[in-house]
Amino acid sequence: MAASAVCRAACSGTQVLLRTRRSPALLRLPALRGTATFAQALQSVPETQVSILDNGLRVASEQSSHATCTVGVWIDAGSRYETEKNNGAGYFLEHLAFKGTKNRPGNALEKEVESIGAHLNAYSTREHTAYLIKALSKDLPKVVELLADIVQNSSLEDSQIEKERDVILREMQENDASMQNVVFDYLHATAFQGTPLAQAVEGPSENVRRLSRTDLTDYLNRHYKAPRMVLAAAGGVEHQQLLDLAQKHLSSVSRVYEEDAA
């Protein structure tokens, strides 16, 4: 009896809906006004401008009137591109990215970011690695310079490698204590078993303990190539300025793979 009552209520609701569809009053409902506003909002979204440097690196931007901007370099280098032997190398490199470059040793990089009131971040996934800076739009030239330094000149000092090795192992222990993280890792490994997509972003703990500076350098040389990079920015950014800065700081990124050069 309860089930039939539910059915009647549903049918009755449908009839009311059909009747009101014929009434112009429906256009005054808040839900539909919201839909119209959303459609208008889509039309006002800034155009995404895309250019490509001669080395294949893509430059994309969406300009607004904001006084701030977010700029980042995205690289097609995640755990899906790793082997069983070097699984975890990309995540390891991301951890080392802010620990100094050949031009900015030690914590000089982080201090320079702080000096302009910017925020530096990075993350890794199975598909890609990203390095991001949020800053005032007037500091765009410095931001692109810093990002270019990070992706091209990481110092990979032995002392920092050993320090971050311990940090990553502790992170992995914390992740293993989260049942949600464990379940989703197993779900991914099962769904994509037998393929590189099954590999964890952090890699197995034995790899973290074993990966050397040579392994990390080899990974950089193999995957950090211009055609796999995108310099993207949103906010108070002019596309031509971003393109000029990319040409200045990132045009020297190689597009040649070792197997092609052989």
| Residues carrying an active site annotation | 94
Q: What values do phi and psi take at 132, rounded to 5?
A: -130, 145
Q: Which residue has the tokens 């700029």?
A: 71
Element spanning 233, H or E: strand 229-235
Residues 224 and 78: beta-carbon distance below 8 Å: no
| DSSP letters spanning 112-180 | HHHHTT-EEEEEE-SS-EEEEEEEEGGGHHHHHHHHHHHHH-B---HHHHHHHHHHHHHHHHHHHT-HH
- What does the DSSP 8-state code read for residue 79? G
Residue recorded with tokens 């294949």: 56
